[in-house]
Amino acid sequence: MASASDLIQTLSDATGVPFGTVFDIDRWLVKGNLRPVGGRRFGAAKMTPLDAARMLTAILASPQSNKAAEVVQRYEQTRPDKLRSSQELFAGIGLDDLAALPARHSFVGGLAAIISSATLGSLADYVQKSKAIERTSIEVSAVTNATRASIRVLEANVEYTTSIDGPVRSNRGKTMVVGDLNEIRQITGQTILRIARLFKEST
């Protein structure tokens, strides 16, 4: 599997975010116990689709690097908004592994599933049949300083949100302060498939 350094470089190249910024985001995820660590060389931690999804979520939704862990914790508390999503979520697009996602999965879980599917699953098989998928068929977006996101794969669109009735808390029990200034960031299938290629070449 890919190393943390490989994943950081791939995400930097794919998104255009400077390597140093992605490296700093990763450092804060490690401090928040949201990314495994290991020794050097052969003992180094190997990255998974979940690690990639967390890092990508932090890139999309963190207003600054030191908020990366808090942002990932927020987005791991999201659930599909059934009123604003495709009726069957991902079940209606013929991709079995995405259809198997629980109805109450989070944005981070959905993103991890898509990366895994694009690596060696049903989405990878679909990609082989369609050269137009990179930009036109996959879109992922998230909002900084809020908790709203969306994932679109082919004709399926899933909107994610969390309750605004009470404060969102981190795994340390602290209330996360969320401001009023928001920015929407979006990536396409180009980034997803770059990550998938990294994992596929590392197996």
Cβ-in-10-Å burial (0-12, 13-18, 19+) of 138 comes to buried
| 159 and 152 Cβ atoms separated by less than 8 Å | no
Share of the chain above pLDDT 70, in %: 85
Dihedrals phi, psi of 84, to nearest 5 degrees: -110, 5
Residue with tokens 């060389």: 41
Kindly state the helix (H) or strand (E) to which residue 38 belongs, with its residue range.
Answer: none
Confidence (pLDDT) at 165? 36
Kindly state the helix (H) or strand (E) to which residue 35 belongs, with its residue range.
Answer: none
pLDDT at 2 over 60: yes
pLDDT at 181 over 80: no
Other beta carbons less than 10 A from residue 19's beta carbon: 13
Confidence (pLDDT) at 180? 65
Q: Give the model confidence (pLDDT) of 121-145 as tens digits.
A: 999 998 888 765 555 578 999 998 7
Q: What is the pTM of this model?
A: 0.88
Residues 153-174, mean pLDDT to the nearest whole number: 69
Q: Give the model confidence (pLDDT) of 72-122 as tens digits.
A: 999 999 999 999 999 899 998 989 999 999 999 999 999 999 999 999 999
CA distances to 40, 53, 59, 72, 88 from 8, in Å: 16, 12, 11, 16, 34
**Residue spans per domain, the chain:** 4-202
SS3 of residue 169 by DSSP = strand
